[in-house]
Amino acid sequence: MSGSTSRLRSLGIDPVTGKEALAVTRPGGLLAELADAHALKAATVLVTVVGAVLEVGKATDTELAAFVTPLHAALEECVGILAADRE
């Protein structure tokens, strides 16, 4: 991921419309900071939920498989944030 490339990122869900708010972000910009904060908050919630499901230990393979795609997306987003901070 290039540090100078703009990209479309989520800023969260608009509480009035219920629609996802998206923005074209620029590294180091205010919208990128907001998107980073949203991504980290979403990843934290997802990790908590998956941890609770694993702790209970009664989830089926199909139920656990439902978490793979969102976990991958959250991990990818967090890695991108960390990589951008190092550039």
Please, are residues 5 and 28 in contact by the beta-carbon 8 Å criterion? no
For range 51-59, the mean pLDDT: 89
* Ramachandran assignment for 12, one of left (phi > 0), alpha (psi -120 to 50 degrees), beta (any other): left
**63 within domain boundaries:** yes
Residue 1 within any structural domain of the chain: no
pLDDT of 84 higher than 90:
no
Alpha-carbon gap, residue 21 to 59, rounded angstroms: 32
pLDDT tens sequence across 7-47 = 789 999 999 999 999 999 988 899 999 999 999 999 999 99
3-state secondary structure of 32: helix
Model confidence band, residue 5 (pLDDT cutoffs 50, 70, 90): low
Q: What's the domain count of the chain?
A: 1
Answer yes or no: is 2 within a domain: no
In a domain, residue 59? The reply is yes
Residue with token string 């890695």: 79
Supply the mean pLDDT for the chain: 88
- At 80, is the pLDDT very low, low, confident or very high (cuts 50, 70, 90)? confident
Q: Is residue 11 part of a domain?
A: yes
pTM over 0.85: no
Distance CA 43, CA 73 (A): 9
Rounded average pLDDT over 42-67: 91
